[in-house]
């Protein structure tokens, strides 16, 4: 069983999220329990979620969002994740923002491995955030993303890595899955790999807050790969309060976000399959 107290003493859990809020809606209960058990929990947020148009329009108060609006949205979502994760017990030093552009991850891995990419609402080819990120000013390339994530994983030495499922329908989530798979394979990382699902048609249902219901298993093949973490009443309540701290998202996604605050969380055991990176990556010393 996941996170049995008698077996968790030497665990180090790394949660990887494409956008702020993914980490809590997918694994907020697990994070809460791990922190309460004294387990080191690290969270890496690859983007600041700074290209979400609906949230940017709310922030712009009905006006057309500008690059400055999207930049402010990124700062806002960064603060929200920090507030939510520290509320659940994660140490601030273990919360890492990479600052890559929202909606760019697929393109970085497939097309912009060495050449910087200009995708997203802010309109830069580099990380515009001057503080609070892993490498301010880093160029938006697939290679830089790979190296940053690889360095963090090797440094943190996780026993468990929790990251998006390959069948997630959001491109940033699918790209994050590919990225972690490649790093684990090429660097020979020995860790338990657990995947979470956020975006998938007609899931989870019903939409809204149903804390007395289990999280349904996603309608995917191989249901035996999934494991369920039953949450305590306190863990459910704390996850709920943490979700409410993502205020920039509640205007447009409240029912969807609260759909993940159930009496359990589900994760799929992942078995690595070799996947190709761009040919330029093969020349590098990974």
Residue ranges of domains in the chain, CATH in brackets? 8-281 (3.40.50.10320)
Give the pLDDT band (50/70/90) at residue 278: low
State pLDDT tens for residues 158-209: 999 999 999 999 999 999 999 999 999 999 999 999 999 999 999 999 999 9
What lies within 8 Å, CB to CB, of 279 at 6+ separation is: none
Write out the two tokens for 31. Answer: 């994070």
Check pLDDT > 50 for residue 59.
yes
Distance from C-alpha of 172 to C-alpha of 20, rounded to nearest angstrom: 12
> Who wins on pLDDT, 228 or 5?
228
Mean pLDDT, rounded, of the chain: 94
Strands 40-47 and 12-17: parallel
Give the pLDDT band (50/70/90) at residue 222: confident
The percent of residues in the chain predicted with pLDDT above 70, rounded, is 92
State pLDDT tens for residues 115-171: 999 998 999 999 999 999 999 999 999 999 999 999 999 999 999 999 999 999 999
Q: Based on the number of CB atoms within 10 Å of its own CB, is 223 exposed (0-12), middle (13-18) or buried (19 or more)? A: exposed
Structural contact between residues 168 and 176, judged by C-beta atoms closer than 8 angstroms: no
Q: Which of 143, 25, 153, 157 has its CA nearest to residue 84?
A: 25
**For residue 224, what pLDDT is reported?**
74
State pLDDT tens for residues 65-83: 999 999 999 999 999 999 9
**Alpha-carbon separation of residue 2 from 26, 44, 54, 126, 228 (angstroms):** 15, 21, 36, 39, 8
Question: What global pTM score does this model have?
Answer: 0.94
Check pLDDT > 60 for residue 281.
no
Check pLDDT > 80 for residue 280.
no
Check pLDDT > 90 for residue 104.
yes
**For residue 285, what pLDDT is reported?**
41
Q: Based on the number of CB atoms within 10 Å of its own CB, is 95 exposed (0-12), middle (13-18) or buried (19 or more)? A: buried
> String of b and e for 102-115 (b: at least 16 CB within 10 Å)?
bbbbbbbbeebbee
Distance from C-alpha of 264 to C-alpha of 139, rounded to nearest angstrom: 39
């Amino acid at each position: 069983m996941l996170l049995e107290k008698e077996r968790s003493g030497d665990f180090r859990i790394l949660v990887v999220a494409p956008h702020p809020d993914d980490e809590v809606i997918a694994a907020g209960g697990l994070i809460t329990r791990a922190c309460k058990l004294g387990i080191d929990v690290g969270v890496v947020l690859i983007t600041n979620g700074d290209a979400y148009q609906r949230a940017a329009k709310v922030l712009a108060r009905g006006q057309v969002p500008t690059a400055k609006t999207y930049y402010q949205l990124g700062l806002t979502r960064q603060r929200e994740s920090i507030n939510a994760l520290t509320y659940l017990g994660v140490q601030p030093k273990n919360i890492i923002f990479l600052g890559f552009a929202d909606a760019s991850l697929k393109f970085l891995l497939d097309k912009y491995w060495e050449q910087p990419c200009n995708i997203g609402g802010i309109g830069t080819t580099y990380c515009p955030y001057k503080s609070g990120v892993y490498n301010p000013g880093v160029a938006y390339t697939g290679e830089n993303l790979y190296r940053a994530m690889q360095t963090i994983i090797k440094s943190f030495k996780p026993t468990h890595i929790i990251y998006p499922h390959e069948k997630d329908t959001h491109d940033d989530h699918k790209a994050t899955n590919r990225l972690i798979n490649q790093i684990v394979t090429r660097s020979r990382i020995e860790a338990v790999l657990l995947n979470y699902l956020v975006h998938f048609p007609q899931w989870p249902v019903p939409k809204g807050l149903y804390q007395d219901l289990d999280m349904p298993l996603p309608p995917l093949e191989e249901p035996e790969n999934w494991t369920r973490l039953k949450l305590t009443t306190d863990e459910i309540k704390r996850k709920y309060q943490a979700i409410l701290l993502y205020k920039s998202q509640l205007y447009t996604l409240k029912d969807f976000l609260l759909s993940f605050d159930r009496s359990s969380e589900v994760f799929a055991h992942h078995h690595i399959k070799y996947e190709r990176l761009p040919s330029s990556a093969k020349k590098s010393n990974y």
